[in-house]
């Protein structure tokens, strides 16, 4: 039997990063993955493949919509979905092989197969052929991630009623696609197909899209996506979706409780994800999941079994790759006797539409509800020289600061490259910057980052320079 200091179950961004940090800190480390490739949801069917298709579809959209105005004449532009998917697959293969390389480099033992608890210090790995290997271990990290969620009546058949995983592998460009859920996945994968010419209609239960983000961003993104051709059915409660053979038929109740029917080629179900613990044998160590299916942990990410920890999508909190990674490092350093810290308030969130949406800290709604006195500075992207030069003029940056102290409490933006721009705000907030601190930093011209400075100037003393 192999003996380890730490065994990590699941090789997503939580698990593989935890493994690297544990190995760096001198622990004899094993990682178990039930699929044939490492990297979990993020690398195989999440972050990386979705961004690969978002980039390809954006190039197509630019070629068909923006090149002419830039003075580039192209004719006969066609979207080749097969090549787009092939390129995406190549990116995934390269990236997942990179994780295998990192495991080898750090002398981490990789065991392929389903990991399950025999007892709190013994984990069994059952491979595809049923062969069992038993690992003895001092500590365990559960990093088994999540799977797509759905509600009664919208069960995916993976053919016409699909999840994100199938939407990343379609062999045709649909004429029409219904998307249940106007959250991150619905809008990102909806954008991919909308740019390729699909008529995308989003059916959303709430009264706005990206409902957990700042309302101003939701409004701005709604405007942008409507202009791009999206149709939104807000406050619609889906009753059922059926595969009709050649397509789908969806019925929902609108806000007046009237039944409405919609038809399309495909229906993407994107109503959130749920923690995944199937086959883990939690019962063998006396661990129960909570009513959301998550593994409960304390502030040290430790379960009620002291040598068993859990991280990433399988526990509470934002289901984000970078959150899972931070938690992996946290547990490794804690086990090594260090005193790590995660600032959960400063985990940025991004939606990779175009323009992108990015946020950090509190929303205006959260702060008002908490009774915090705030001041807000905003700046429109269209006022930037850089934006006009590139023809990317949509979006806005909003900075919320404490009215009394000027401390920045939240930064929200819809902007070209917002995913990268947000890091200035994360850094500033990590050092508890005031809006004036941000406003006084010299920003290069011409860049989109000038919108952050201008919004900070607006928040400080209502003194933006370029509007």
Binding site for ligand NAD (CB under 6 A): 151, 180-186, 188, 203-206, 211, 238, 270-273, 318-320, 350-352
The structure tokens listed for 395 are 């979006």
Cβ-based nearer residue to ligand NAD, 359 or 428 = 359
Among 8, 12, 409, 428, binds ligand FAD (CB under 6 A): 12
Q: Do 186 and 268 contact (CB within 8 A), yes or no?
A: yes
* Nearest distance in Å: CB 101, ligand NAD: 25
As a whole number of Å, the end-to-end CA separation of the chain is: 69
CB of 51 to ligand FAD, least distance (A): 6
Please state whether 406 falls in left (phi above 0), alpha (psi between -120 and 50) or beta: left
Q: Which of 4, 7, 10, 459 binds ligand FAD (CB under 6 A)?
A: 10
Stretch that binds ligand FAD, among 199-207, 242-250, 275-283, 439-447 (CB under 6 A): 275-283
In the list ligand NAD, ligand FAD, none, the entry touching 413 (Cβ below 5 to 8 angstroms by class) is none
Applying CB under 6 A, does 225 fall inside the site for ligand FAD?
A: no
Closer Cβ to ligand NAD, 139 or 164, answer by number: 164
Which residues on neighbouring strands pair with residue 375, listed in sequence order? 401
- Is 112 among the residues that bind ligand FAD (CB under 6 A)? no
Q: How far is the CB of 149 from ligand FAD (least distance, A)?
A: 11
- Residue 197's nearest CA partner among 75, 55, 57, 352 is 57
Within residues 68-97, the interface with ligand FAD by CB under 6 A covers none
Alpha carbons 282 and 437: distance in angstroms, whole number: 49
13 sits near ligand FAD (criterion: CB under 6 A): yes
When asked if residue 145 is in the footprint of ligand FAD (CB under 6 A), the reply is yes
Question: By C-beta, is 287 or 320 nearer to ligand FAD?
Answer: 320
Determine, following the binding rule CB under 6 A, whether residue 34 of this chain makes contact with ligand FAD. yes
Q: Which residue has the tokens 């260090």?
A: 338
Q: Is 322 in the site for ligand FAD (CB under 6 A)?
A: yes
Given ligand NAD, ligand FAD, none, residue 67, with its beta carbon under 5 to 8 Å by kind, binds none
Q: Does 186 bind ligand FAD (CB under 6 A)?
A: no
- In the numeric block, which tokens belong to residue 376? 């807000």
Shortest Å distance, C-beta 31 to ligand FAD: 9
Stretch near ligand FAD under the rule CB under 6 A, chosen from 71-79, 130-138, 272-280, 428-436: 272-280
What residue 181 binds from ligand NAD, ligand FAD, none (CB within 5 to 8 A, per partner kind)? ligand NAD
**Catalytic site residue 445?**
yes
Q: Cβ–Cβ contacts within 10 Å for residue 290, how many?
A: 11
Catalytic residue, from 59, 65, 300, 445: name it: 445
Minimum CB–partner distance for residue 115 and ligand FAD (Å): 4
Enumerate residues 6+ apart whose C-beta is below 8 A from 6. Answer: 19, 22, 27, 28, 29, 30, 137, 138, 139, 140, 141, 332, 335
Q: Does 174 bind ligand FAD (CB under 6 A)?
A: no
Give the binding range for ligand FAD (CB under 6 A) out of 45-53, 292-300, 369-377, 385-393: 45-53
Cβ 377 vs Cβ 55: under 8 Å: no
Size of the site for ligand FAD (CB under 6 A): 36
Retrieve residue 211's tokens.
């409902």
183 touches, from ligand FAD, ligand NAD, none (C-beta below 5 to 8 Å by class): ligand NAD
Q: Least Å distance between CB 225 and ligand FAD? A: 18
Query: Exposed, middle or buried, 274 (CB in 10 Å: 0-12/13-18/19+)?
Result: middle
Residue 283 CB, shortest distance to ligand NAD, in Å, is 27
280 touching ligand FAD, by CB under 6 A: yes
Contact between 38 and 100 (Cβ < 8 Å): yes
| Site of interaction with ligand FAD (CB under 6 A) | 9-15, 32-35, 40-42, 46-47, 50, 114-115, 143-146, 164, 185, 276, 279-280, 312-313, 319-322, 324, 352
Active-site residues, by number, are 445
């Amino acid at each position: 039997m192999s003996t380890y200091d730490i065994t990590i179950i699941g090789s997503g961004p939580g698990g593989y990063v935890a493994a690297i940090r544990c190995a760096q800190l001198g622990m004899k480390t094993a990682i178990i993955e039930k699929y044939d490739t490492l990297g979990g949801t993020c690398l195989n069917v999440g972050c990386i493949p979705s961004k690969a298709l978002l980039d390809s579809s954006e190039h197509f959209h630019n070629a068909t919509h923006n090149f002419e105005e830039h003075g580039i004449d192209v004719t006969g532009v066609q979207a080749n979905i097969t090549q787009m998917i092939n390129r995406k697959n190549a990116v995934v293969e390269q990236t997942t092989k990179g994780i295998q390389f990192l495991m080898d480099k750090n002398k981490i033992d990789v065991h392929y197969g389903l990991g399950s608890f025999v007892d709190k210090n013994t984990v069994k790995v059952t491979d595809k052929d049923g062969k069992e290997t038993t690992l003895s271990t001092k500590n365990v990290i559960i990093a088994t991630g999540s799977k797509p969620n759905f509600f009664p009546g919208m069960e995916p058949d993976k053919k016409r009623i699909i999840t994100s995983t199938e939407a990343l592998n379609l062999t045709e460009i649909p004429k029409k696609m219904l998307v249940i859920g106007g959250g991150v996945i619905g809008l990102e994968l909806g954008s991919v197909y909308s740019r390729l010419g699909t008529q995308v209609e989003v059916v959303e239960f709430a009264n706005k899209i990206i409902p957990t983000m700042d309302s101003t961003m939701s409004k701005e993104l709604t405007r942008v996506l409507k202009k791009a051709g999206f149709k939104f059915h807000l406050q619609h409660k889906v009753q059922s979706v059926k595969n009709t053979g050649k397509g789908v038929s969806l019925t929902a109740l609108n806000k007046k409780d009237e039944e409405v029917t919609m038809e399309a080629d495909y229906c993407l179900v994107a109503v959130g994800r749920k923690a995944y613990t199937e086959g883990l044998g939690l019962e063998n160590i006396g661990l129960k999941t909570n009513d959301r299916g998550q593994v409960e942990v304390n502030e040290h990410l430790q379960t009620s079994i002291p040598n068993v920890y859990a991280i990433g999508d399988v526990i509470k909190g934002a289901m984000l790759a970078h959150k899972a990674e931070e938690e992996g490092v946290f547990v490794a350093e804690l086990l090594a006797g260090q005193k790590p810290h995660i600032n959960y308030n400063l985990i940025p969130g991004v939606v990779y539409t175009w323009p992108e949406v990015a946020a950090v800290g509190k929303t205006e709604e959260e702060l008002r509800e908490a009774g915090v006195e705030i001041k807000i500075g905003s700046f429109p992207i269209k006022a930037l020289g850089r934006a006009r030069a590139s023809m990317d003029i949509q979006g806005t940056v909003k900075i919320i600061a404490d009215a009394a102290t000027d401390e920045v409490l939240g930064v929200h933006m819809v902007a070209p490259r917002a995913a990268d721009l947000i890091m200035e705000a994360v850094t500033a907030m990590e050092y508890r910057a005031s809006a004036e601190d941000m406003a006084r930093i010299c920003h290069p011209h011409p860049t989109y980052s000038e919108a952050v400075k201008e919004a900070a100037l607006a928040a400080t003393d209502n003194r933006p320079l370029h509007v």
